[in-house]
Amino acid sequence: MSPRFTPVLFDLDGTIVDSAPGILASLAWTYEQLRIPVPPPAELLKWVGPPLLDSFRDLAKLDADESRYAHALYREHYTEVGVFDATPYPGVLEVLRDIHDAGVPLSLATSKPESAARLILDHFGISDAFTEITGASEDEVRSAKPDVVEEALRRLALNSEVERPVMVGDRIHDVEGAAAHEVPTIFVTWGYGSPAEAAGAIAVADTADELLAELAV
């Protein structure tokens, strides 16, 4: 029996790991360096998922040069201090193993820079489950989710057939980014998105077991 989907693309922050503590701490530190009042945690949580360079512009209301400077400050602090302040969601690493063991191609598709994403996957000993690890480019020219999904599909197509791809994510950026390439999304509720952000997803999973059932690997 063939798998329901192949390949499978996974978001990282809010889908595989709860990385908010490290991200929020580094954002607060960055605000302090810029001498800007630090927003409350509920506001900072909106930053988790979308490309951070865009959020410095859209949420912090910085201009292009200020956004690049703030982003550089953040990246340095996050890479040194915050990147490992993350916790895998219950059962999700096992789902990734099950996908790999079933022989289904698997790619990360995150707006987090690829180097930082790889550090996290290595830290939790799950990198080898992935066929490809695709994230934002280091200069974040490739950081919007449609661009990341496109790159993940391109890399996967080099070594395997892209027949019935699916995205797994927790934010509307995942749903819309995948839809830009006619890829459906399974929305997970344990991350940072609101229920309204699941609009457009083909299924919603509340637990890792439910996600595995939807993937039917």
Same domain, 211 and 108: yes
Distances (CA, A) of 182 to 29, 92, 201: 39, 25, 12
DSSP 162-196: -SB-EEEESSHHHHHHHHTTT--EEEETTSS--GG
- Whether cis (ω within 30° of 0) applies to the bond prior to 7 is yes
Q: How far apart are CA 125 and CA 86, in angstroms?
A: 13
Look at residue 70 and tell me if it is in a domain: yes
Region 152-180 average pLDDT:
95
Return the SS3 of 111. strand
User: Where does a domain end: 82, 112, 133?
Assistant: 82
Distance CA 101, CA 95 (A): 10
Q: Nearest 5°: CA angle at 214, between 168 and 203? A: 65
Residue 166 lies in a domain: yes
Both 59 and 150 in one domain: the answer is no
Is the model's pLDDT at 184 over the cut of 70?
yes
Residue 132 lies in a domain: yes
pLDDT tens track for 30-56: 999 999 999 999 999 989 888 888 899
Q: State yes or no: pLDDT of 140 exceeds 80.
A: no
| The domain boundary residue, chosen from 57, 82, 107 | 82
Domain containing 193 — which CATH number?
Answer: 3.40.50.1000
Q: Are residues 117 and 72 in the same domain?
A: no
- Same domain flag for 66 and 114: no
User: Which of 35, 51, 82 delimits the end of a domain?
Assistant: 82
167 and 181 assigned to the same domain: yes
Is 66 a member of any domain? yes
Are 53 and 140 in contact by the 8 Å Cβ rule? The answer is yes
Q: Is 3 contained in some domain?
A: no
- The first and second tokens of residue 83, run together, are 């990147």
Give how many domains the chain has, as a whole number.
Answer: 2
**Structural domain includes residue 1:** no
> What pLDDT, in 10s, does the model give residues 62-99?
999 999 999 999 999 999 989 999 999 999 999 999 99
Is 1's pLDDT higher than 90? no
* Residue 2 domain flag: no
The DSSP bridge pattern shows strands 17-18 and 87-88 to be: antiparallel
Domain membership of residue 59 as a residue range? 20-82
Same domain, 56 and 114: no
Four-point Cα dihedral 73, 78, 79, 81, nearest 10: 120
Residue 213: phi and psi, rounded to 5, are: -65, -40
Q: Are residues 63 and 90 in the same domain?
A: no
Q: What are phi and psi of 108, to 5 degrees?
A: -75, 145
Do 165 and 107 fall within a single domain? yes
Task: Determine if the pTM surpasses 0.85.
Answer: yes
The answer on 101 and 78 residing in a single domain is no
60 and 92 assigned to the same domain: no
Q: Are residues 120 and 188 in the same domain?
A: yes
